[in-house]
Amino acid sequence: MSNLLDLPHHDGSEIYVRRATPQLGEVVPVRIRVPSAGSERAVWVRTVRDAEPRMVEARLERSDVHERWYVADVPVHNPVTGYRVLLDEPGGYRWLNGRGVHARDVPDASDFRLTVHDPAPPWMDTSVVYQVFPDRFARAGSSEGPVPDWAQPARWDDEPIGAGPGAATQFFGGDLLGVEARLDHLQRLGVDTLYLTPVFPSRSNHRYDASTFDHVDPLLGGDEALASLSRAVHARSMRILGDLTTNHTGAGHEWFARALGDQASEEAGFYYWSAGEPGYVSWLEHASLPKLNYNAPALGARMVQGPDSVIGRWLAPPYALDGWRIDVANMTGRYADDDLTHQVARTIRATMREVNPDAVLVAEHFHDAGLDLAAGGWHANMNYSAFTRPVWTWLVDPGSALGFLGMPVPIPRRDGASMVATMRDFDSTVPWSITTHQWNMLGSHDTARVRTVVGSRERVELAAGLLFTYPGTPAIFAGDEGGLTGTNGEHARVAMPWRDVDAGGGPRWDAGTFEIYRSLIAVRRGSRALREGGMRWVVVQRNAVAYLRETLDERVLVVVARGPWEGVDLPRHLLAPHALPENLYGGADLDVRPDALHLAGDGPGVQVWRLA
C-alpha cells in the first residue's frame, strides 16, 4: 500500500501561509509543496476577485531531492478571498483544494480561503474545553435544598430519564458552588476552559427556556455564585464560557409575559406571531420556546448590542465571562424570508470587542456551517459535521442500534476513507483560521455518550486519540473522561459519580479511561505541532488512518488503527538525519530502516511520534 505523501499539498498553517490576519488590499504569499515525483510544468493559483477568477503564476522558491516549493502572491481583494492551485501537467491539469487533488474541474465551495476577519483569541490555540451541565455536575453542601414547583426530584445516583415525561424536569440539584469545589478535577485532567450550559432561571433542568437574562438561577446559587466561580477559575489561569439562547426565550420569560399582556408593548415586537395555535412562532414548534425577531431594533439593543446588552453585561466584572457559546446559532435571526443571522453574529462580535476583546464566540450548528462561519461573526463552531459524525461512523460498535444524531436511521459503520472524506469535505468549507479553533467533540449534552457509541474502553482510546491530535479545539463533555454512558442527549446527562471518582475508580468511573484522557491532553500540551500545526493525510485505509501535524519547528506523526491493517513504508527523509523518533503516546518503537520509516499493521491502537 502506498502512502499519500506523493501528492501535492497546501493548507493554511504557518508553513504555507503566514499566521497574521491579512488586511484588505494586502498581498499574501502562499506556498505549495510538490513532491519530487511530480510532473508539473507550471503551478498557478486561481483566485476569485469580485466573483471573477484570476490566475497568478507561482514561482519556484526552492527544491531538493525530495520536494519542490512554489510561492504565489495572492491579493486579498475581498474580505474572504478564495483560491486553489492549478497544476499544469503533461496530458492535462489537476486542481488542489481543501478536499485534496482532483483530475477534473471542481466547484469553489472547497477552495482555500484567506480572510480579513479576526480569528479566535490566541488563548484558544492551546485551549482544551470542558463542558459542564450544572444540574448534574456537583452540588455544594447538603443535598437537602429547595425544589422548584416544576421539578421532579432525583437522587444523585439516579439514572437520567432519556425521553418523555420528566426528561426536562428531573432535578438533581447541582449548583455553581459545587462546580467551584471540583475545579481540582479539571486541572488534574489538564483542561483549562470551563464551558457552562445555561445558568439563567427557567422551568427545566437544561435552562434553555430562560425566564430572565438578568440574573443567575437562585437554584444554582444566584449571581454571587457565578461571580465566585469566575474568580476561582481565573485565579487558576483558566477561562470560563457561558451559554446563551439568542434564538428564543422561554415562554415564562419576562419579555414574553409583557408581550402577551400588551400587543402594543415594545416587547411584542421581540417575537414572531402567527394566526394558528399557540399564536406565536417557537423553536421547532415547542411552545415553551418562543422565537425572537431581530427586526425589532430594541431587541438588538437589549440582547446583543453594546455593553449593557445581555451579551455585554455578563462579559464584564464581576462575572467576567471569557466568551459565549450560542445555542442553535444557525437558526438565530432566520425565519421565512428573514435572514439576519450574519448581522446578529457580527453585532455580537462587535459588542465582545468593546467589552472584552479577548472573548471567544462559538456557534452551535449541527450541520453545514461553512457559509455562516466565513461571514465574520462566529469564531468557531461545535464541529459535529467535520468531526463527531465521521468519527462515530468509523468507531461505532458494530452491534450498535443507536440513532444517528437526529436522523431516522442508526449510526452506520463506515471505513477510514469515508471518515476522512467527510472530514475533508466539511473542513474545506471554512478558512483554516477557523478550522484550527473548531470545537471537536466526541459527544455533548445533546448526544449519546461516546462510551455507549463505541462500546469499549479500547475504542474510546481510539476516539480520544483523534480528538487530541486533530486540528481544532478539543471539547469534552464532563464524565466522558471516566467512561460515563448514555443513549441520547437526555440520558447522557449523568450526574458525576464523585464517590467513585474520589476513590480512584469504581463501578461508575473508569480510572483507565481517565488516564487515557489525561495522558493525551498532556501530549497535546507538550507539542506545538499538535496544537497549531498543519494537516497532511499520510495513510487512509479501511481500518487505519495516519497523518502528519507540522509547524516550522516540529513534525508529529499520528497513527490510529481500529484493527489490524496492511502497514506501509513512509519516506525516510521525514525523520531528520541521525535523529531518533520520540514516542509521545502508545509506547511502540517506530521501525526506522535505511530507506524508509515502516509502519507495521498493528491494531487496534494509537501511536504518536515526534519525528523532527
Residue 322 within any structural domain of the chain:
yes
pLDDT per position as a tens digit, 154-195? 999 999 999 999 999 999 999 999 999 999 999 999 999 999
pLDDT number for residue 612: 76
Confidence of residue 221 (pLDDT cuts 50, 70, 90): very high
Buried b (16+ CB within 10 A) or exposed e, 316-341: eeebbbbbbbbbbbbbbbbbeeeebb
Q: How far is CA 582 from the centre of its chain?
A: 29
Same-domain check for residues 513 and 584 = no
Q: Please give the single-letter amino acid code of residue 282.
A: S
CB neighbourhood size of 146 (10 A): 8
What are the backbone dihedrals phi and psi of residue 9, each rounded to the nearest 5 degrees, phi first? -145, 145
Confidence of residue 58 (pLDDT cuts 50, 70, 90): very high
Same-domain check for residues 467 and 390 = yes
> CB burial class (10 A; 0-12, 13-18, 19+) of residue 554?
middle
d(CA 412, CA 391): 11
Report whether pLDDT(549) > 80. yes
Same-domain check for residues 233 and 373 = yes
Residue 321 within any structural domain of the chain:
yes
pLDDT number for residue 146: 76
Same-domain check for residues 218 and 353 = yes
pLDDT per position as a tens digit, 129-143? 999 999 999 999 655
pLDDT number for residue 335: 97
Report whether pLDDT(35) > 70. yes
pLDDT number for residue 343: 97
Same-domain check for residues 453 and 338 = yes
Give mean pLDDT, residues 540-559: 98
Same-domain check for residues 216 and 336 = yes
pLDDT per position as a tens digit, 238-282? 999 999 999 999 999 999 999 999 999 999 999 999 999 999 999
Report whether pLDDT(144) > 80. no
Residue 426 within any structural domain of the chain:
yes
Same-domain check for residues 303 and 426 = yes
Residue 11 within any structural domain of the chain:
no
d(CA 561, CA 586): 12
- Our count of domains for the chain comes to 4
Domain limit, last residue, from 115, 140, 167: 115
CATH of residue 399's domain is 3.20.20.80
Same-domain check for residues 316 and 369 = yes
Same-domain check for residues 206 and 354 = yes
Q: Please give the single-letter amino acid code of residue 535.
A: M
pLDDT number for residue 2: 77
Give mean pLDDT, residues 335-353: 97
Give the structural domain span for 262.
248-291
> CB burial class (10 A; 0-12, 13-18, 19+) of residue 488?
buried
- From the CA atom positions of the chain, what is the Rg in Å? 25
CATH of residue 541's domain is 2.60.40.1180
pLDDT number for residue 143: 56
Residue 120 within any structural domain of the chain:
no
Give mean pLDDT, residues 280-289: 96
Give mean pLDDT, residues 369-392: 96
Report whether pLDDT(48) > 60. yes
The answer to whether the beta carbons of residues 27 and 76 sit under 8 Å apart is yes
Give mean pLDDT, residues 223-244: 98
Residue 423 within any structural domain of the chain:
yes
Same-domain check for residues 326 and 424 = yes
Same-domain check for residues 549 and 505 = no
- Say if pTM beats, i.e. exceeds, 0.75: yes
d(CA 293, CA 338): 9
d(CA 502, CA 518): 16
CATH of residue 54's domain is 2.60.40.10
Residue 15 within any structural domain of the chain:
no
Domain limit, last residue, from 291, 318, 350: 291
pLDDT number for residue 162: 96
- What string of H, E and C letters represents the secondary structure of 334-399? EECCEECHHHHHHHHHHHHHHHCCCCEEEECCCCCCHHHHCCCCCCEEECHHHHHHHHHHHHCCCC
The answer to whether the beta carbons of residues 357 and 123 sit under 8 Å apart is no
DSSP assignment string, 462-516? HHHHHHTTSSSEEEEETTGGGT---SSTTTT-PPP-HHHHHTT-BTTB-HHHHHH
Domain limit, last residue, from 501, 525, 549: 525
DSSP letter at 9 equals B
For β-strands 360-363 and 323-326, DSSP reports them as: parallel
Residue 286 within any structural domain of the chain:
yes
pLDDT per position as a tens digit, 499-513? 999 999 999 999 999
Same-domain check for residues 372 and 272 = no
For β-strands 42-49 and 80-89, DSSP reports them as: antiparallel
Can you list the positions of beta strands (E) in 76-158? 80-89, 92-97, 100-102, 112-115, 129-132, 152-153
pLDDT number for residue 567: 95
d(CA 578, CA 569): 19
Report whether pLDDT(533) > 60. yes
The overall average pLDDT reported for the chain is 96
d(CA 61, CA 40): 15
C-alpha cell at 217: 438561577
pLDDT per position as a tens digit, 394-404? 999 999 999 99
